[in-house]
Amino acid sequence: MSETLLTPETVGRLGRLDLVARLVVEGFLAGLHRSPYHGFSAEFAEYRQYIPGEPTVNLDWRVYAKTDRHYQKVFTEETNLRAHLLLDCSASMDFSGDPSRPSKKQYAAYLAAALTYLLLHQNDAVGLTTFADKPLERVPVRSMRRHLFQVLKVLQDLPAGTETRLGDVLHRVAESAQRRGLVLLLSDLMDEPESVLSGLKHFRHRGHEVVVFHLLDPREVDLDYDGEVEFEDLEEPGRRVRLEPAHLGDDYRRRSVEWRHELQHECRKRLIDLVEITTDTPFDRGLGAYLRKRRRLY
């Protein structure tokens, strides 16, 4: 089961990378993350020995004066990162413009499997929610290594969805995610931009860091078809239209660029990372490039 989504070659390439949450927690390679509530009535729990290279803000100098050793104060809120994977299973995610490429849903499953592996590998906690017009399946947030197989079991056989109500789903999940963490959304964002942005803003309002993997098929970007083509609405089966893409290609591409630029601009204003990936990019290469970029910037 796991070999289908995570090959040894992929693990070898991605295993050296760490996904470090920005704004909410400060990551350490050992898996320890400073509390997002640090400085806000954090409750002292215990001491632990200081590791060279760590921030010194919580060093107890009185203990050092007595013992000649450096000890850190540990607070009850200090914990591992909690990551919430949200995977869009609406019917539009089943689209693939070329039989040689995975559908957007399959591509999202590959990304979700790799992200789960990476986060569990650094001792963080991961949960998964699949959705369409409503939440479909939910794997609770856990940090145990064997939790990977529970997530992969769902990813191996993703539920079928129909129409998209992305904004409504994001609001519902945001209300249920009580503790601050990292929200990773994998979707084609095929919904009204105002509704999508409203849902994403809800997570930011509650203190979460948000990363959006905007997944598109190359044919959705350039509408590169020859001759007359019949298109079917995947979210409204039976609704079809025949047209010649060459007649509206320039207008379509202009509108597509405007839509994507609007999403990028609005996400940037809200400190949301929006990563656009097309399904002709090997998923581990696209993810690896993004993680290396985060590592350099943050």
Residue 65 has pLDDT above 90, yes or no: no
Tokens 């107890």 sit on residue? 60
- Residues 6+ away with beta carbon under 8 Å from 59: 50, 70, 71, 72, 73
The burial of 3, by beta-carbon neighbours within 10 Å (0-12 exposed, 13-18 middle, 19 or more buried), is given as exposed
The burial of 13, by beta-carbon neighbours within 10 Å (0-12 exposed, 13-18 middle, 19 or more buried), is given as middle
Structure tokens at 36: 């997002």
Residue 29 has pLDDT above 50, yes or no: no
Q: How confident is the model at residue 10, as a pLDDT?
A: 63
User: If one looks up domain 2-17+80-297 in CATH, what number appears?
Assistant: 3.40.50.410
Separation CA 298–CA 287 (nearest Å):
16
pLDDT tens digits, 87-119? 999 989 998 888 888 899 989 988 888 888 878
Residue 230 has pLDDT above 80, yes or no: no
Separation CA 90–CA 87 (nearest Å):
9
pLDDT tens digits, 123-175? 788 999 999 989 999 999 988 878 888 898 898 888 877 888 899 999 999 99
Which of 3-12, 217-226, 284-293 has the weakest average pLDDT? 3-12
* Residue 263 or 238, more confident: 263
The domain segmentation of the chain, as residue ranges, is 2-17+80-297, 44-75
Q: How confident is the model at residue 12, as a pLDDT?
A: 62
Q: How confident is the model at residue 235, as a pLDDT?
A: 59
Q: How confident is the model at residue 121, as a pLDDT?
A: 73
The burial of 59, by beta-carbon neighbours within 10 Å (0-12 exposed, 13-18 middle, 19 or more buried), is given as middle
Place 120 in a pLDDT band, splitting at 50, 70 and 90.
confident
In this structure, the strands spanning 209-216 and 273-278 are parallel
Q: How confident is the model at residue 39, as a pLDDT?
A: 34
Q: Which CB contacts under 8 angstroms, 24+ apart, belong to 151-155?
A: 151/85, 151/112, 151/113, 151/116, 151/126, 152/1, 152/2, 152/5, 152/6, 152/113, 152/116, 153/1, 154/128, 154/130, 155/5, 155/87, 155/109, 155/112, 155/113, 155/128
Q: How confident is the model at residue 167, as a pLDDT?
A: 92
Residue 45 has pLDDT above 80, yes or no: no
Q: What is the pTM of this model?
A: 0.74
Q: How confident is the model at residue 254, as a pLDDT?
A: 85
Q: What is the arithmetic mean of pLDDT over 22-29?
A: 31
Q: How confident is the model at residue 25, as a pLDDT?
A: 30
In Å, what is the CA distance from 68 to each residue of 56, 58, 60, 63?
15, 16, 11, 8
Residue 77 has pLDDT above 70, yes or no: no
